Amino acid sequence: MTKGIWVFVEHRENLIKKVVFETLSEARKIADQIEDELCAVLIGKSNDSLVESLSEYGVDKIYLAENDVLKTYTTDGFTNVMSDLIRKYEPRALLIGCTINGRDLAAQVAQRLATGLLTDCTGIEVIDSQLVFTRPIYAGKATVKASCKTNPVIATIRPNTFAAVQNKKDPKIVKTVTDCGNIRQVVIDAVRQVSQRPELTEANVVVTGGRGIKGPENFKLLEELADVLGGAVGASRASVDAGWAPHSMQVGQTGKTVSPTLYIACGVSGAIQHFAGMSSSKCIFAINNDPEANIFKIADYGIVGDLFEVVPLLTEEFKKLKASS
Amino acid sequence: MKIIVLAKQTFDTEAKLSLDNNGKIDGQGVKLIMNPYDEFAVEEGLRIKEKTNGEVTVISVDKEQDQDALRQAIAMGADEAVMVVPGDVELDEYATATILAKVISKMEYDIILGGFRAIDDGSCQVAGRVAESLNIPVVNMITEIKIENGKAQATRDIEGGSEVIEVKLPAVFTAQKGLNEPRYPSMKGIMKARKKPVKIIRLGELGLVEDQIAAKVKPVSYTLAEPRKAGQVIQDEPAKAVSQAVKLILEKVKVVV
Ligand SMILES: Cc1cc2nc3c(=O)[nH]c(=O)nc-3n(C[C@H](O)[C@H](O)[C@H](O)COP(=O)(O)OP(=O)(O)OC[C@H]3O[C@@H](n4cnc5c(N)ncnc54)[C@H](O)[C@@H]3O)c2cc1C
Ligand SMILES: Nc1ncnc2c1ncn2[C@@H]1O[C@H](COP(=O)(O)O)[C@@H](O)[C@H]1O
């Protein structure tokens, strides 16, 4: 019998990704419904603080696979270890945050184990004791619900979809396989921009600049607003293609998919390809000087006005609110 | 250098979606385009070909008549196009990848390029699965690639930065935006694409039994998304509009802590 709902713990520099806690919280509910156990799988180098933070989120068991070779993510290293663990313990499901490395790992493990993978999921439910996942498709114009005929079902979960809910437990720790097998990808260099801002796909608030921002120097206005709200800054393809922002900031069909609580679109017209990347935002707020702009057809709230006037006022207003709260 | 590019057609994003009688996404009459990420893959394949005096073969698993993407690739400069026609069987990503790997395993190849994601039902897995099936390494979401002495160094996106990965060839790479600017087909290319036959391979010829490609994923139901409703647009002098908007936003969501 297969047992356990597993959640892959993506971590870096001693910090666990937010999407892991969100996924654990939702998986806890599902595990309770089907009376199964919730397990976290931690690959790499662990320590007490990582284990401590996992125990805050309702985990019954933690599988630890430690090995110095696994300190940095490699496709093969993590695929080998994860696949071996699954063969050994036969879980019912493996849930992974839909991040760059999460997606990478999920596809390799799924093919090695000849099983199904549902990506970028925004819902999990139990129907006839089967796990059924909801995923947005066709640029958010439709959703499909799907299950998997084989075990384990593998699914990647869209960040910012589920609320992280604390639920203290005392997880059992299982130290386990650490044979990393043959690793064919050699990481010869890594560059990370140091930023105080959250990662675009994880941010609770995203402030995006479109062609209306008129030049790279004006992104400063958006950064100031984002910083008051602890948010990240995004860009439309028009402003990326103009060279005002790097591609890593692009939101949309050929950019990132974001799902923040609040999405502030500044000088963005609201093309369908842009919408594809932000349609699951909880609240969309638009600033555009053209009352006919498409963005107002999809925004919850909007201001018709010049962003160069409105954005600084907005920053001030939120600053005032923060100071008084 | 023998280069293989995996390419598929996707719905044009502007296309209006509807469901057919079986409650599935209706593809009838929908305009199809080459998956934009696959255009990057084709372009990169052509650039490697030009540098190494190589050969580019583009492969797609699709309906026999849906050859536009393959012809576009030929028009851009690809040498051969192969269409694998699965017939009536329901394919999922596992099945598609298993078929592609089988076709490729009978060919010569040094490098395989694909898109990192198909933009329609985009699942970001077919190319990676092909690598796993062929037992060769994959590097996903690349924005640069250099090839030397049977090895490739590829720059790939990671959250908040990038990393450079070295692998021995053969290997699979998936394209991220930023890898290149795809070229427009030349007049000569377009003429060639009109005449060049696409090689058709039927499932039966591959020696795959149905069991080997049985879909793992089972769709339960499709739903069209409720279009997002237009909300409230505030037209007032800026200061007033801003304080009203902030009030409304905070009534709806919690963002200031
Ligand atoms: C295959 C494909 C994939 C694509 N992928 C993406 C993608 O991933 N992401 C993406 O964003 N796009 C994508 N696009 C492009 C998309 O179709 C649009 O062209 C793009 O989103 C437009 O960007 P924009 O809204 O910034 O610019 P525009 O459409 O030019 O809009 C600028 C807006 O700013 C407003 N404005 C101007 N000045 C001011 C001011 N002072 N104050 C306030 N408002 C002002 C204008 O009224 C206008 O509405 C894709 C297109 C294709 C074909
Ligand atoms: N039917 C197919 N035929 C050829 N290549 C495909 C097919 N499906 C997916 N691919 C390749 O795999 C990539 C990722 O697709 P997907 O996993 O569907 O998001 C695509 O960009 C293509 O390069």
What is the total count of domains within chain B?
Answer: 1
Domain interval for residue B20: 2-213
What does the pLDDT look like over A81-115, one tens digit per residue?
Answer: 999 999 999 999 999 999 999 999 999 999 999 99
Give the integer Cα–Cα distance in Å for A236 and A209: 6
Spatial separation of the C-alpha atoms in residues A20 and A10, rounded to whole Å: 7
pLDDT per residue as tens digits for the range B132-188? 999 999 999 999 999 999 999 999 999 889 999 999 999 999 999 999 999 999 999
Taking the C-alpha atoms of residue A291 and residue A287, their distance in angstroms, rounded to an integer, is 10
Q: What is the mean pLDDT of chain A?
A: 95
* Stretch A224-238: mean pLDDT: 97
Q: What Cα–Cα distance (Å) separates residue A92 from each residue in A83, A98, A298?
A: 13, 19, 39
Q: Is residue B238 part of a domain?
A: no
Closest CA to B38 of B80, B82, B70: B70
In a domain, B35, yes or no: yes
Region B226-245: what's the mean pLDDT? 91
- Could you tell me what percent of chain A has a pLDDT over 90? 92
Q: In this structure, is residue B249 part of a structural domain?
A: no
In a domain, B232, yes or no: no
ipTM of the assembly?
0.95
Question: For B41-58, what is the mean pLDDT?
Answer: 97
CA distance B119 to A186: 29
Report CB contact under 8 Å: A117, B123.
yes
What pLDDT is attached to residue A259?
95
Confidence category of residue B210, pLDDT binned at 50, 70, 90: confident
Confidence label for B211 from pLDDT (cuts 50, 70 and 90): confident
| Range in A31-35, A61-65, A237-241, B207-211 with the lowest mean pLDDT | B207-211
Share of chain B above pLDDT 70, in %: 100
Q: Is residue B116 included in any domain, yes or no?
A: yes
Question: Nearest bound ligand to CA A303?
Answer: 1
Rounded to an integer, the average pLDDT of A57-79 is: 95
Residue nearest to atom 7 of ligand 2 (CA): B8
Regarding the beta carbon of B60 and ligand 2, being less than 6 Å apart is answered yes
Q: Which residues line ligand 1 (CB under 6 A)?
A: A 210-212, 236-239, 250-255, 267-269, 271, 273-274, 277, 287-290, 293, 306-308; B 36
Q: What atom of ligand 1 comes closest to residue B36's alpha carbon?
A: 1
Beta bridge partners of B158: B161
* Predicted confidence (pLDDT) per residue in B5-40, tens digit: 999 999 988 888 999 999 999 988 888 999 999 999
Q: Which of A73, A95, A77, A89 is nearest to A26 (CA)?
A: A95
Average pLDDT for residues A38-64, to the nearest whole number? 94
**Mean pLDDT calculated for residue range B80-89:** 93
Choosing from B3, B4, B6 the residue with most ligand 2 atoms within 8 A of its CB, the one to mutate for a pocket test is B6
Identify all chain B residues contacting A118, using CB atoms and an 8 Å cutoff.
123, 217
**Domains, chain A, ordered by start:** 5-175 (3.40.50.620), 200-324 (3.40.50.1220)
pLDDT value of position A192: 87
Instruction: Give the CATH number for residue B92.
Output: 3.40.50.620
For chain B, give the percent of residues with pLDDT over 90: 82
